[in-house]
Amino acid sequence: MKLFVYNTLLNHPTLVHALRYLPRIKKAKLPNALEKSYRGYPTLHRADGHSVSGEVFEVSDEGLRRLDKWEDHYRRVLVQLADGTTADAYVVDPQKFS
């Protein structure tokens, strides 16, 4: 599965710790989005004319399960990247704060 990452997941040691391996990575941009903070957690918001730089990588099902546990205040959503490909991305899930 393709996963778009930004902010703290761009820190490769964090990825290695969560996944237990370093995935194959390529640079990517998410158009019409802006990175903001929700209660101190980075997240994505729709913002026409802006873009968020990040990376896309292939992650195994097991790696995705590990990341889902690691990113426990987030949910995955499908996004379309600037090159037209789609990938999952983590966004803050406000319901997980209640």
Q: Could you tell me the residue ranges of all domains in the chain?
A: 2-97
The pLDDT of residue 98: 66
Domain 2-97, CATH number (from 1.20.1530.20, 1.10.10.10, 3.20.20.70, 3.10.490.10): 3.10.490.10
The whole-number average pLDDT for the span 81-92 is 96
Distance CA 72, CA 44 (A): 16
Phi/psi class of residue 65: alpha, beta or left (left: φ > 0; alpha: ψ in -120 to 50)? alpha
The whole-number average pLDDT for the span 53-75 is 91
pTM listed for this prediction:
0.87
The pLDDT of residue 8: 82
The whole-number average pLDDT for the span 90-98 is 86
**Is residue 18 within 8 Å of 67, Cβ to Cβ?**
yes
Q: What is the pLDDT of residues 13-31, one digit of tens each?
A: 877 888 887 777 899 999 9
Nearest in space to 64 (alpha carbons), one of 2, 13, 9: 2
The pLDDT of residue 80: 97
